[in-house]
Amino acid sequence: MTKIHSASCKCGKVSFEIELANYNVGLCHCTDCQKISGSHFANIYYKGEIEYKGAEYITVFDSSNWAKRAFCNVCGSNLYYKFKDAEGYSLAAGLFDDQSDFVLKKQLFTDKKPAYINIANQTDDMTEAEIRAKYNF
């Protein structure tokens, strides 16, 4: 795939262009993602480094002992989740201008999903206990 995907926050101060290796979207239902995203966090994993336009508008903070999150400090758009000791970013899917190729593949922390959300897509689902067992944290 050689398609360049453009992405930006709501106000446009933060933007970037990347080539995605796949279009697999995950939904995270953990309580942190609910607080930060207002609901589940739809994200797409990107392994490389990103050259941001408007990097000065990005605020990064420790959301746990093992991860950082970032948002646009003008409009508040959720930008990414990143493990501190691993490469790559879980980028907010909604930042991308063209999501027509994106496919919902998995849901994480399904045991934390609010009862009012019922997603019909066939996905690989993991509970918190399953995630902690698999990734050992």
Least Å distance between CB 111 and Zn ion? 12
Q: Does 42 bind Zn ion (CB under 5 A)?
A: no
**By CB under 5 A, is residue 25 in contact with Zn ion?**
no
Nearer to Zn ion, 72 or 91 (CB): 72
Site size toward Zn ion, by CB under 5 A: 9
Task: List residues bridging with 24 in a β-sheet.
Answer: 103
**CA of 65: how far to CAs of 52, 55, 114, 127, 132, in Å?**
25, 24, 25, 20, 14
Q: Nearest approach, Cβ of 10 to Zn ion (angstroms)?
A: 5
Among 36, 72, 93, 95, binds Zn ion (CB under 5 A): 72
| Calpha distance 132→114 (Å, rounded) | 20
> What is the rounded distance in angstroms from the CA atom of residue 114 to the CA atom of residue 105?
19
Residues of this chain that interact with Zn ion (CB under 5 A) are: 9, 11, 13, 28, 30, 33, 72, 74-75
